[in-house]
Structure formats: C-alpha cells, structure tokens
Structure 1
Amino acid sequence: MNHLPDPHEGAVERPVPDVSIVVPTKNSVRTLRRCLESLRAQTLPCHVVVVDNHSTDTTREVAALLSDIVFVAGPERSRQRNLGAAATQSPVIGFVDSDMVLSPSVVEQAKSAIDAGAGSVIVPERSVGSGYWARVRAFERAFYVDVDGIEAPRFFSARLLASTGGYDETLDAGEDWDLGRRASRAGRVERITALIEHDEGQLTYLQACGKKGAYAAGVARFADKNPGALWRILLHRPYIRHPWLLLDQPRLGAGLIALKLGEAMAVVVRLLLAAATPDRPRG
C-alpha cells in the first residue's frame, strides 16, 4: 500500500480554502491556461496546486500566474498527484488533468456532496476537439456517463484519501480506476451534474492509438493488481453490451469500431515488444 508523502519541502503553510485542486502537468502549455482559468472561475474558491513534471515549454510560467503552489516533481502523474495532495491541508481534494476545463459549479457541487457524507465524487466528463476522430472520442465518452466502474472519482475527502494511501505510484495507467475501487470500499461514492470538458485538440487516429499503446504496460499492471477488474470494465461498456447503439450515429459508430480495433492492436504490439525486451528499471 502506498503512503502519501510528507508535504513538499517548498510548500508554505498558509490559510487555504476548503477545497484544493491538484493539477499534474508536463508540457501542457496548449491547454493549461484554460484549465486554470476555469478553476479560478469556480463559484466556490479553491486552492490550486500545480505539480509539473520537468516541462520544457512555458507550462510553469503559465502555472505561476494562475495557481497558488507550483513545484517540479515526477516521474509520473500518480506521484505528482500524491505530492500535490500532501502540499495542502484542505479537507476536500480534487484532481484534474491539465487538458480539462471545469464548468463553474463543479467544485461547489463536489464539496456539497462530501459535506453530505460522500467519501469520493465522480464528475461527468465530455470530450471536445477538432476533426473527425475527436468527434468519435466524444461519441465514445458519452456512453460512459453514469456507468459504474468506468467513471472514476476526481474529488475525495482528505481523510478518505489518506486512509486509502492515495494513488498507486507503481501504476502509470488505470491508477484512477484503482483508487476509485479502493475509495468505493472505504466510503460512499456520489455523482454530481456539473461537467468537465476534456480537450482532445486536433486528435488523429494514430495519436489516439499510440497513446493507448503507451499505456499498455500500466494497464497490464492494473490488471495484475485487480484480478478480473479490467475485463469487467471493458465488457461493461454500453456499446459492447448493446452494439446496436452504434447505429444511432452510423458514421461515428463505424469510427468507434475502427478506433477500438486500432487501440487494441497498439496495446498488443506494445506488450509483445515489452515481452521481447530485457527488463529495465522503471524511471
């Protein structure tokens, strides 16, 4: 079990709002400003902690303008999130990615749910972006709203988060599902209605498949840690159980089939390559 680290050495104690948001970044300048501006526009003020993984663009400069704490740490987002959580004393902690934009009442609704007894809170997400494959991704994500086991919580009571040990730092994929499973055993999970937009940008087919392939080893580690969970997540998707739903928008449905096949092939290829390559220490 992981243990959340002590607060980062550079963190300064100061009065903070009831909610802190941790944003892990790495070369995120394209999307970070909109993300942080959406946090500053919340109906309930929040404390913003950016943990940057050694960006080589101007990510940290943008973060310094719009966040309360910025520090540099890696090697992966699980470690970044745990460090960010440890840098604040807020009773409610949220985690968002740097390519996400929150609607104005997300933080307020999440805090209200936790004040009412929830241990963790799921925020529905929708994808936005340019081009055909971004529309396919948005079509896919729309199937996942309100589906147990696929959506993962993004807000937690600090007490519950500490009791679970936070994000598993051995996982660089599936870490949100893994924490969500532990959080659901430790306390009640609630959903809110306010949305998060996930900015896919100008998504291409090869980018989408390549990203999935890059996560192959991490997903395999998640599956090893949570026997049977990955298959339940995959098979519980509405378009798998009810494939005729893809006919509602045939052009996007055909694209989703092609996308899932391409992603599966990318995962298989990466796993085969990993099996044929001598083990190297993970950095």
Structure 2
Amino acid sequence: MSNSTPDVTVVIGAYEAMPYLIRCLESVEAQTLPAGRMEIVAVDDGSTDGTGAYLEEFAARTAIETRVVRQANSGGPSGPRNVGLGLARGRYVFFLDADDYFGEEALERMVAMGDRAGTDVVLGKVVGVNRGAAKSMWKETVERADLYSSNIKFTLSAQKLFRRDLLVRLGMRFDEELRTGEDALFTMEAYLRGNGVSVVADYTCYYLVGRDDGKHVTKSGSYLLRFDSARALMKLIATHVPPGPKRDTLMVRPLVITLLPQFGPGLLRQSDEVRQRKMELAAPLLEAYWTPGLARRLKVQERLRLLCIAEGRLDLLLDILRFMHEKKKPRQVRKGLRGRLYLVYPHFGEGTVLPLSAYEVTVTEWIGRKRVEVPGRQSTAAFLRRLVRKARRTARAAGLHMPRSAHRA
C-alpha cells in the first residue's frame, strides 16, 4: 500500500452488480486523473452473481490501488458505503454506484473545483441512461452555490465528491436504519454543516443507469420507508435551520419529493386502510413543519393536497386526485384589484377548509404546455387595462359612453 495520500477514494458498494460493474470499473480506470492519485475501496455486499470474484480479479490487474471487502448482505447501500468510508484514505471521497459510470474527466474536474473553491462538496453534472435524472441544477458551473436560492437541494443522492476531512470531523455516516433516503440525509447534512458546495455543470461527470432488470434500489420498498425518510430529513433540517424563510425553503424538498408522491393519483387505487394509514403518518409532519411561508413556495396542486392532509380531509384530497387523474386543466381566474391569479381546482370558492389563498399562483407553474407566471406589477397593470376594456365593451353594448381617459387607467 502506498504511503502517499490519494486525491480521491472511490467507494463502490456492489450487490448483484453484474454485468453493470464491468463498465463502472472501466470508467474509473479511464479517468484522466492519474491512477496514482486515486484509490478504490469496493465492498461486495453478499452478491451471488460473481460480483465479488470480478472485483478481486479487477484488483489484481489494475494500476489503481484497490481494496476489496466481501461481506454478508447488509440489506441496503448504507452498510457497504460506511465500510468503504472507514477504509478511505483520500482527501476526497466519491460514492460510485456499481450500476453507474463516470465521464472520463469527472474526477479531475471535480477535484480541481474543490481545491480551487475550497468547498467540502462538489456536484458533477448527472445524466440518465435508460432512466430520468434531475436537470434543474446543471444550468451553470458555480464555485459556491447558495443552498437556499439554487436547486442543489433537489439533488441529494450520494454520488458527489465529499471532502473526507468534513466527514471525519463530523463523524458522518450513512444511517443504516433507513432503507431509503439515507443518501438524502447524508448529503443534506454535508450541505448544511460543510464549507460550501460547488457545481460542475459544463461536463457530464456521472451517468446514472437504469437497470434493465428493474432492480434499482430506489424502486423497491414499501410506502412506510418513504415516511421514515421524510421524517428523518425534516428533523435534520429543523435541527440545523431555525424557523423562518430558510427552513421553509429547504422543507419544500422532503415534502414535494419524498412525501407528496405518496398522495398522488395512485392513492385512488389503494385501500381505505392504506389511505388512512398514510394520512396518519403524514399528519404529525405537517403539524410540526407546515407554515404559511412554506405553503407559498408550492404549486397550487401541491399546496392543496398537503392542506387536505394537514386538515385530515381525505374526502377533499380524493376529489383533487380524481381531477388530476383525469388530466383536467384548471381554469385561471383573476380576482381583486391586484389581479391575483388562481387555479380552479375542486372546491374552489366553496369556503371549506380550503381557503381561497390555497388556490393562488405563487410560483411558476405549467398547465399542460402553457407556462403560468406569478402576476407582477406589469401583470396587474395589464389586468386593470383588461377590466377597463371590458367595461367599455359593456357600456357600448348598453348604448353608453365612457371617456377615453378611462382607457388609459
């Protein structure tokens, strides 16, 4: 074993990873970062498909210093990652899934960014292969991204470059009690407690592969695991960010990405028992963290669903879900002198537990292919002009006359 400290330790947790593991390891060998500046710690988590044997064969022939650990199956990705992290010697650690692979310049570019910016986490652009991947955070390369105003909070997977000193100093480990969302908890803690986050967006660093056999870990597990994940992430955010706009901004992520999918149109096909259980699990989370500021950071249909859950109104929630399932497009209605814009979903204007404010457009939305913007000052003026034009048409129809000055209001 070399005495010099490598720039990067690539930690690969592998379970039943063949044949995807072949390309994964080839992509590490193909890095433009020299072999002597990196190491691999690969953990075979009880595979039965030859994964362990292939890792040992690779370690015997590669120029990259490679350590292979073979262990009984741990039941999830956290155990192998923690083992790899415990053995890592690099200045940085990258958690590479055995299904996925690097772009050739990935590590060289990310290490250079981390060194130049002095940040503790570096995000490299991710694209999906045979699956979708988040896109909104890859618009530009930035040395220091703001967690609250940027979209980096919506990419919390573990496939990032972490400064190992941060992980050691904070004693960070993946939560092995969580069976899903453990990477979101780990990454968010690094965002919150580390010295900044960088984004490499001008080069594809990571290829996220959808397995043909459908065995990708994020596709498995019961709905109870999703609530465990949401609960843990919301608690972490609340621990490190005091109540106020910043906390509200971060809470959007667990609510919209982790919790709300459990209350999508698929709920219509589920049993009353499951529906009620989901409502019971979500209620205390909303009681603890729901605020008016958080509500205004959501799209109308998101806000309405969460408000139904918070108020315990499964009946109203199901009406909204039927509307969504039938792919109906809500009408747009303007009200008031300020021209506030509302989307007409079920129970609009009925004065139930869903107040008029719950239907107001407060963030940019898409209705079908049409972009719906939040009305601004210019939109309000345009709204007033439309009111005047409408009044003039009505007056003309009635044989009355309005002065031209009114048209310039």
Same fold (TM over 0.5): yes
TM norm structure 1: 0.69
The residue number in structure 1 matching 2:174 is: 167
The correspondence of residues 28-107 of structure 1 with structure 2, limited to 5 A, is 28-44=17-33, 45=35, 46-67=38-59, 68-73=66-71, 74-75=73-74, 76-107=76-107
The residue number in structure 2 matching 1:183 is: 190
The residue number in structure 2 matching 1:158 is: 164
TM norm structure 2: 0.49
The residue number in structure 1 matching 2:6 is: 17
Check whether the contact 1:149–1:177 (CA below 8 A) recurs between aligned residues: no
Q: Report the aligned-residue RMSD.
A: 3.4
CA distance in 2, matches of 1:58, 1:179: 30
- Unmatched 5+ stretches in structure 2: 60-65, 140-150, 238-249, 279-409
Check whether the contact 2:230–2:255 (CA below 8 A) recurs between aligned residues: no
In structure 2, give the amino acid aligned to 1:233. Answer: R
1:128–1:87: structure 2 CA closer, same or farther, 3 Å change rule? same
Share of identical aligned residues, percent?
22
CA distance in 2, matches of 1:37, 1:15: 24
How many angstroms does 1:16 deviate by? 5.3
Check whether the contact 1:35–1:100 (CA below 8 A) recurs between aligned residues: yes
Equivalent residue in structure 1 for 2:200, among 192, 200, 209: 192
CA distance in 2, matches of 1:20, 1:66: 16
Check whether the contact 2:134–2:155 (CA below 8 A) recurs between aligned residues: no
The residue number in structure 2 matching 1:110 is: 110
CA distance in 2, matches of 1:211, 1:158: 26
The residue number in structure 2 matching 1:141 is: 134
Higher relative contact order (CA 8 A, sep 6+): 1
Check whether the contact 2:95–2:161 (CA below 8 A) recurs between aligned residues: yes
Q: Deviations over 1:45-81 (max 9, x none)?
A: 3211111110000111221233411112341211211
How many angstroms does 1:13 deviate by? 7.4
CA distance in 2, matches of 1:197, 1:145: 14
Residue-pair matches, total: 230
**Per the alignment, in what secondary structure is the counterpart of residue 214 of structure 1?**
coil
Q: Deviations over 1:133-155 (max 9, x none)?
A: xxxx33x5345646321113511
How many angstroms does 1:95 deviate by? 0.4
Check whether the contact 1:118–1:190 (CA below 8 A) recurs between aligned residues: yes
1:265–1:110: structure 2 CA closer, same or farther, 3 Å change rule? farther
CA distance in 2, matches of 1:220, 1:236: 12
CA distance in 1, matches of 2:138, 2:179: 23
CA distance in 2, matches of 1:225, 1:94: 23
In structure 2, give the amino acid aligned to 1:72. Answer: R
